[in-house]
Copies of this chain bind each other. A is one copy, B any other.
Amino acid sequence: MSTIVDVPESSKLIDNGRTDPRAGGWKKGVGIIDFILRLGAIASALGAAATMATSDETLPFFTQFFQFEASYDSFSTFQFFVITMSFVGGYLVLSLPFSIVTIIRPHAAGPRIFLIILDTVFLALATSSAAAATAIVYLAHNGNQDSNWLAICNQFGDFCQQISGAVVASFVAVFLFVLLIVMSAVALRNH
């Protein structure tokens, strides 16, 4: 009994694209948008990593003993940010072939599920580094009175602008990740 059920199911995966081209075209379109969104996410993730990694400001005055310098090295959160965003960008580049497979074979569930699972893991990674960096950027801008942490953005204006830009770029990548997962999940429907 089970073989009778299985045979039309497996042949359906191949034939459906021919018998009902409209459904196949819809899923192909989702695959193409997926690919384009991935390119955007690569740009924002690597842009965020590069912007953060090049943030470095040395103040034009110094005392006898040391010079005032702010760089992303000073904060372990920002180091984490640079490493994580590079990882995410690298993953997204490696995921492009799988995205192409979903365009060529819009009815294959395997590549989509593979992408959903990895996208979820890297969404968590990207979100964590973006949010942690945001918390520090907020402190750098506003400080915290109760714990006596002073805002450093008054002194290091350019540094602060650069790390803020990196955080914004990383949140663009996070938003695109959420879109990618939602789109893949919807495309799995009616399979």
Contact = CB atoms under 8 A, between A and B. Distances in A.
A74 B144 CA distance: 8
Q: How many copies does the complex hold?
A: 2
A94 interface: no
Given A19-B2, A139-B139, A185 B131 contact: no
Contacts of A116: 116, 181-182, 185
Interface in A132-189: 132-136, 138-140, 144-150, 152, 174, 177-178, 181-182, 185-186, 188-189
Nearest to A146: B74
B120 A181 contact: yes
Given A5-B12, A76-B138, A188-B113, A70 B146 contact: yes
Given A75-B146, A147-B150, A147-B152, 13 more contacts: A2-B20, A5-B16, A9-B12, A70-B146, A74-B144, A74-B145, A74-B146, A109-B191, A116-B182, A120-B181, A131-B135, A132-B134, A147-B149
